[in-house]
């Protein structure tokens, strides 16, 4: 269609030249024109116009379809790539930049298809017009063709200066997107701390840098576009001057001059579309480089072919596991070192440790959001990396620290749109999470649309919905990363006691008769799910069968809650921090005396008394 448009436009110049020589010039000599000649002239011009119009409509429709389909395709490719890439890759790439890649960069890459079809037509038009000009008059044709080298030279200069300017502008666009994303994500923090003005200023600074980069690119283009328009106009004036001289000397016909001048003037506007394409090319190249850099990432997680074995709770084993984070500068800092840990199927293990000891990192390793830098994570005896794609998700579920609730119905927040789960499954998961009560009282039950990020719910309600989202999938390994911190201890005990009913045969019992004691024998034993819970509260820790104490990225000790209280000073300091009252001079002695009664000797008593006083 572009070629038809180009050939039709150039053909109109040839038709006009023939009409001038065979109809108009004789009409001036005869002093009139016949109806037949007028009709034939009109039909010839109308035929060319119809063909040109068909080409214009066709190329515009095709250009729009092609451009928008390519944008849609590459946005899908990018988002699929985001989902394939491991979590550690996302740690190194801000969400705002990724949004800019999928939006502005994709649009910049394929926006060139808007002027490109017209430019293709111009190429055909120039070829046809060049042949027609040379055939009409070689000298005038040569004068007209001098336009093309100047276009090439001008474009080379333009590309040299424009590409760096557009690269900088695209990078600044990503920065603006990142700042805006952070500000919107942290809206509650900004407003509650009264930092609206500073956030506005921070955004204004990045927006000003983007404005400056865009203005610089715009100035370059503003200088380029008039030159592109001036070149064919100067060519037309040159043809008219040389043509008048040749007609006066009898070396050319008037129709030849009219044809060549008309073709050049006709090409003047379409040449602007060449300028538009050439002007879009730097943005297209930069957008494509930023987009293809993401698509070319090979940092995807490898998968094996092992299918998860059917059965009950999962046995977990970590062998000499180490993990290090990589910052934007490429520096590595290790957070886990040679961790060895086993969790028996159907038991509950509490991971306890000070902030920064590696607990959350360990949780992400268990559900294979990241792979260890060294060592092996085994699930039911298999290296997690040997399981097939989606295999870990069939076995395990993670409820992270940060509770995310979608602006959607309760049902879709639980199922995430997975049609395999019925309303009965949803209510069952809500029941185990002790969320069914408040959901029943919502205006529309499961069909109630929750506000953005669950703004209409309390923190504990959001946590219970997030827990139900994991439980509806009946995981055989459940990892809770401080996921019950906003839930009162009584409800928390009921939830952990009810996990035994998650096994596939629905034989679990929700009685929870051992959920509240301090003996260290929690509700997980013998259930259909293995639970690893990261906790700080003693009420939560006491529900576990065993406790693993992390310190400086290593398992410092392991045992029951009571055992660790007795033999691990670091553990004891951490979990009893709220029990000490420095203003009560009798407290350390009472605590020491109580532990002596539990079996400590006099030396232990002195050490503990001094430690608690400090």
pLDDT tens sequence across 11-58:
776 777 777 777 777 878 777 777 777 788 788 888 888 888 888 888
548 within domain boundaries: yes
Query: Which token pair is 488?
Result: 């009162």
The most confident of the ranges 23-37, 143-157, 529-543 is 529-543
- If asked whether residues 259 and 173 sit together in one domain, one would say yes
The pLDDT value recorded for residue 481 is 86
Beta bridge partners of 318: 341, 377
The pLDDT value recorded for residue 376 is 92
The percent helix, strand, coil of the chain (3-state, each to 5) is 65, 10, 25
Pairwise pLDDT comparison (127 vs 463), residue with the higher score: 463
- If asked whether residues 120 and 258 sit together in one domain, one would say yes
Helix segments in 31-146, DSSP class H: 35-84, 87-91, 95-100, 106-110, 116-136, 138-145
Place of tokens 């003996």: 519
- If asked whether residues 458 and 568 sit together in one domain, one would say yes
611 within domain boundaries: no
86 within domain boundaries: yes
606 within domain boundaries: no
403 has pLDDT over 70: yes
The pLDDT value recorded for residue 552 is 87
Pairwise pLDDT comparison (150 vs 511), residue with the higher score: 150
Q: Is the dihedral of CA 257, 260, 266, 272 positive or negative?
A: negative
- If asked whether residues 287 and 351 sit together in one domain, one would say no
360 within domain boundaries: yes
- If asked whether residues 322 and 438 sit together in one domain, one would say yes
State the CATH number of the domain containing residue 374.
3.40.50.300
Q: Give the whole-number percent of the chain exceeding pLDDT 70.
A: 84
* Residue 608 pLDDT grade (very low, low, confident, very high; cuts 50, 70, 90): low
The one-character DSSP state at 325 is E
Rg, the chain, Cα only: 38
Q: Could you tell me which residues come within 8 angstroms of residue 153 by beta carbon, excluding any fewer than 6 positions away? A: none
CB 343 within 8 A of CB 378: no
The interaxial angle of helices 602-613 and 587-597, nearest 10 deg, is 150
Alpha carbon distance 27, 18 (integer Å): 13
192 has pLDDT over 80: no
CB 376 within 8 A of CB 321: yes
Lowest model confidence (mean pLDDT) among 79-88, 303-312, 573-582? 573-582
- If asked whether residues 427 and 514 sit together in one domain, one would say yes
- If asked whether residues 261 and 327 sit together in one domain, one would say no
- If asked whether residues 351 and 262 sit together in one domain, one would say no
Q: What is the pLDDT of residues 323-364, one digit of tens each?
A: 887 766 667 778 888 899 999 998 889 999 888 888 888 988
162 within domain boundaries: yes
Q: Could you tell me which residues come within 8 angstroms of residue 66 by beta carbon, excluding any fewer than 6 positions away? A: 113
Residue 6: exposure state from Cβ atoms within 10 A (0-12, 13-18, ≥19) = buried
The pLDDT value recorded for residue 408 is 83
Alpha carbon distance 447, 411 (integer Å): 6
Q: Which domain holds residue 377?
A: 317-579
Find the mean pLDDT for residues 527-531.
80
- If asked whether residues 288 and 399 sit together in one domain, one would say no
597 within domain boundaries: no
The pLDDT value recorded for residue 589 is 45
- If asked whether residues 356 and 394 sit together in one domain, one would say yes
Query: Which token pair is 423?
Result: 């309303």
Q: Domain count for the chain, please give it.
A: 2
* Residue 427 pLDDT grade (very low, low, confident, very high; cuts 50, 70, 90): very high
* Residue 590 pLDDT grade (very low, low, confident, very high; cuts 50, 70, 90): very low
Which residue, 295, 325, 354, sits at the end of a domain? 295
Give which of 270, 283, 259, 281 is closest to 228, Cα–Cα: 270
- If asked whether residues 333 and 260 sit together in one domain, one would say no
Alpha carbon distance 97, 115 (integer Å): 27
- If asked whether residues 275 and 385 sit together in one domain, one would say no
State the CATH number of the domain containing residue 127.
1.20.1560.10
Beta bridge partners of 334: 324
The most confident of the ranges 306-310, 520-524, 605-609 is 306-310
Find the mean pLDDT for residues 363-378.
89
75 has pLDDT over 50: yes
Give the SS3 label for residue 577.
helix
302 within domain boundaries: no
Pairwise pLDDT comparison (485 vs 49), residue with the higher score: 49
């Amino acid at each position: 269609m572009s070629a038809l448009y180009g050939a039709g436009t150039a053909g109109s110049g040839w038709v006009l030249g023939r009409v001038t020589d065979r109809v108009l010039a004789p009409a001036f000599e005869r002093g009139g024109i016949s109806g037949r000649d007028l009709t034939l002239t009109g039909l010839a011009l109308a035929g060319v116009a119809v063909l040109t119009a068909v080409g214009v409509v066709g190329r515009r429709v095709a250009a729009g379809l092609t451009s928008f389909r390519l944008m849609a395709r590459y946005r899908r490719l990018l988002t699929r790539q985001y989902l394939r890439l491991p979590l550690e890759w996302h740690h190194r790439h801000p969400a705002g930049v990724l949004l800019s890649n999928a939006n502005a960069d994709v649009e910049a890459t394929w926006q060139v298809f808007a002027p490109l079809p017209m430019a293709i037509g111009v190429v055909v038009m120039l070829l046809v017009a060049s042949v027609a000009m040379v055939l009409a008059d070689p000298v005038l044709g040569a004068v007209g063709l001098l336009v093309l080298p100047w276009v090439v030279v001008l474009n080379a200069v333009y590309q040299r200066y424009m590409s760096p300017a557009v690269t900088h502008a695209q990078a600044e666009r990503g920065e603006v997107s990142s700042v805006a994303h952070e500000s919107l994500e942290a809206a509650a923090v900004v407003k509650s701390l009264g930092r609206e003005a500073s956030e506005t200023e921070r955004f204004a600074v990045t927006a000003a840098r983007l404005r400056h980069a865009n203005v610089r690119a715009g100035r370059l283009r503003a200088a380029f576009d008039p030159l592109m328009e001036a070149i064919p106009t100067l060519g037309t004036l040159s043809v008219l001057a040389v043509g008048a001289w040749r007609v006066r000397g009898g070396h050319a016909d008037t129709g030849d001059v009219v044809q060549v001048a008309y073709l050049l003037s006709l090409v003047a506007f379409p040449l602007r579309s060449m300028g538009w394409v050439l002007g879009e090319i730097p943005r297209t190249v930069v957008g494509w480089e930023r987009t293809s850099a993401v698509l070319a990432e090979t940092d995807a997680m490898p998968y094996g072919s092992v299918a998860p074995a059917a059965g009950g709770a999962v046995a977990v084993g970590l062998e000499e596991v180490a993990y290090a984070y990589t910052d934007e500068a490429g520096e590595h800092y290790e957070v886990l070192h040679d961790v060895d840990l086993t969790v028996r199927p159907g038991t509950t293990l509490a991971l306890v440790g000070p902030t920064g000891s590696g607990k959350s990192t360990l949780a992400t390793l268990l559900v294979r959001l990241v792979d260890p830098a060294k060592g092996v994570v085994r699930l039911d005896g298999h290296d997690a990396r040997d399981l097939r794609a989606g295999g870990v998700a069939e076995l395990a579920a993670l409820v992270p620290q940060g509770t995310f609730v979608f602006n959607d119905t309760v049902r879709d927040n639980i199922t995430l749109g997975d049609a395999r789960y019925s309303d009965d499954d949803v209510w069952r998961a809500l029941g185990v999470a002790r969320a069914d009560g408040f959901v029943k009282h919502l205006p529309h039950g499961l069909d109630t649309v929750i506000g953005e990020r669950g703004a209409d719910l309390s923190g504990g309600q959001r946590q219970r919905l997030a827990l139900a989202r994991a439980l509806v999938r009946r995981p055989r390994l459940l990892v809770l990363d401080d996921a019950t911190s906003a839930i009162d201890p009584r409800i928390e005990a009921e939830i952990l006691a009810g996990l035994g009913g998650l096994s596939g045969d629905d034989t679990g019992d929700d009685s929870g008769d051992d959920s509240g004691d301090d003996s260290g024998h929690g509700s997980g034993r013998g259930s259909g799910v293995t639970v690893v819970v990261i906790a700080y509260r003693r009420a939560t820790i006491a529900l576990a069968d065993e406790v693993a104490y992390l310190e400086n990225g290593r398992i410092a000790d392991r045992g029951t809650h009571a055992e660790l209280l007795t033999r691990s000073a670091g553990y004891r300091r951490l979990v009893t921090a709220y029990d000490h009252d420095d203003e009560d001079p009798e407290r350390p002695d009472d605590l020491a005396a109580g532990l002596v009664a539990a079996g400590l000797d006099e030396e232990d008593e002195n050490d503990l008394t001094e430690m608690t006083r400090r």
